Amino acid sequence: MKCLFLKIAVILGCMSAEAQQIRTFVPNIVTPRLLHVSEVNGLPILPLRGGEQLEFSFDDLDTNHERYYYRVEHCDQRFQPTEQLLESSYLQATENTLPIDLYEPSRNTTVNYNHYSLLLPNADMRMLLPGNYRLSILREAEDAEEEFETVTEAFFMVGEQRVSINASLTTMTDADYNNRHQQLTVEVDFSALRLSRPEEELSVYVVQNRRWDKMRKCPAPNYLTMGKMKWQHCRDLIFNAGNEFRKFETLSTEYPALHVDRMAWEAERDSYVATLYTDEVRKNYLYDEDLTGGFIIRNTDNYDNDTESDYIYVHFRLNAPLRLDYPIYVYGTWATNADRETYRLHYNEETRLYEASVMLKQGYYNYYYDTPDDSVEGNFYQTQNEYLILVYDRPIGSRYDSLVGWKVVRSKK
């Protein structure tokens, strides 16, 4: 019973956290991305020292050039602003709100847009403390009572590796044996830190496949020794195994590519439409390499991808039982609109399929069909999943949560 209450508390706590790493709030801002400058599909984590940078970019479908600004705020372990800190204690910046100066118009595209980008840290802004951060992209507000309004936001982390994390993954879980689940064992060596109450000062989280809306906080450890804490045979670290991500490519508007049934111009939408092959409910595990729900913007020539890749309506089709009692959403890290209904599939009486159309920039995409009971994708122990372990430290009397360790564990086929 205690474990059940712990699990409920974790779920409720996660629901109060930010649901996505990136969220957009206005329809003209599309394809926001937060990437390592030198790492494709990298996690949004920077070492406090070391000179690494993140690039944040987005497209504005309103081609009248808009002046956009950015602001960075320190956050707690739940990605809520840290109210106890002065800005000058965690940020070295010329101003707290700075303009985005890098932008380019699209070229040779049927859908016109302006592409904006910025690097963090930069000469005008540098983070001084480890922890979680929120990057807000702003524009001047139409409401006279407000100076700015947020059009999109992204969360990233700055950390110091001050603890050692050992973790292993097994499919022989406390729930079943080589069936539907995977289970983590985690050990944190915090001997390099001076902690008086480690169970209170350290918080450990696990994120599966970059689903920040399902981030889990570890309960009290099973074992606590001098300088170490360990979670073993912990039911809160049993995860649904899921299935590999599906994928498609829209490199050209002239011919269909990977998993695209047909590509056609639709006058009603004044755009190209890529209709995917009809997807089926998965009954078995199917091995396939993927990007953990990620995507890469590119076109056939793979040249000036940011400004010469067009926007296309991608039409998803799913053959699933009629009139399910719950909604079906198409999901990937590219699904950043704060209005989740954008990605909901609706039943088409004529085709007898669940369908959705989403406007996406040309490229390579991972996706899957998200349901409360995993009835479309299934759960198979062989699935290659990614688990990100995050360790935060908040010493007694401290005013902020510090990221003191992180590690990625991947299951293998």
Are residues 295 and 355 located together in one domain of the fold? yes
Are residues 150 and 209 located together in one domain of the fold? no
How confident is the model over 236-257, as pLDDT tens digits?
Answer: 999 999 999 999 999 999 999 9
Are residues 26 and 152 located together in one domain of the fold? yes
Are residues 47 and 73 located together in one domain of the fold? yes
Q: Is residue 310 part of a domain?
A: yes
pLDDT of residue 303: 84
Are residues 250 and 183 located together in one domain of the fold? no
Return averaged pLDDT per consecutive 10 residues of the chain, 413 residues in all: 36 42 96 87 89 95 92 96 94 94 95 97 96 96 83 97 97 96 97 92 96 93 93 96 97 94 94 97 92 94 92 97 87 95 95 96 97 94 96 94 96 76
3-state DSSP of the chain: CHHHHHHHHHHHHHHHCCCCCEEECCCCEEEEEEEECCECCCCCEEECCCCCCEEEEEEECCCCCCCEEEEEEEECCCCCECCCCCHHHHEEECCCCEECCEEEECCCCCCCCEEEEEEECECCEEECCCEEEEEEEEEECCCCCCCEEEEEEEEEEEECCCCEEEEEEECECCCCECCCEEEEEEEEECCCCCCCCHHHHEEEEEEECCCHHHCEECCCCCEEECCEEEECCCHHHEEECCCCCEEEECCCCCCCCCCEEEEEEECCCCEEEEEECCEECCCCCCCCCCCCCCEEECCCCCCCHHHHCCEEEEEEEEECCCCCCCCEEEECCCCCECCHHHHEEEEECCCCEEEEEEEEECEEEEEEEECCCCCCCCCCCCCCCEEEEEEEECCCCCCCCEEEEEEEEECCC
pLDDT of residue 410: 93
Are residues 186 and 225 located together in one domain of the fold? yes
Are residues 293 and 329 located together in one domain of the fold? yes
Q: Is residue 365 part of a domain?
A: yes
Are residues 151 and 183 located together in one domain of the fold? no
pLDDT of residue 12: 34
Q: Is residue 231 part of a domain?
A: yes
Are residues 288 and 324 located together in one domain of the fold? yes
pLDDT of residue 91: 96
Are residues 317 and 398 located together in one domain of the fold? no
pLDDT of residue 141: 84
pLDDT of residue 413: 62
* Structural domain harbouring 103: 20-159
Domain count for the chain, please give it.
3
How confident is the model over 146-157, as pLDDT tens digits?
Answer: 889 999 999 999
Please say which residue of 130, 159, 188 terminates a domain. Answer: 159
Are residues 317 and 350 located together in one domain of the fold? yes
* pTM over 0.95, yes/no: no
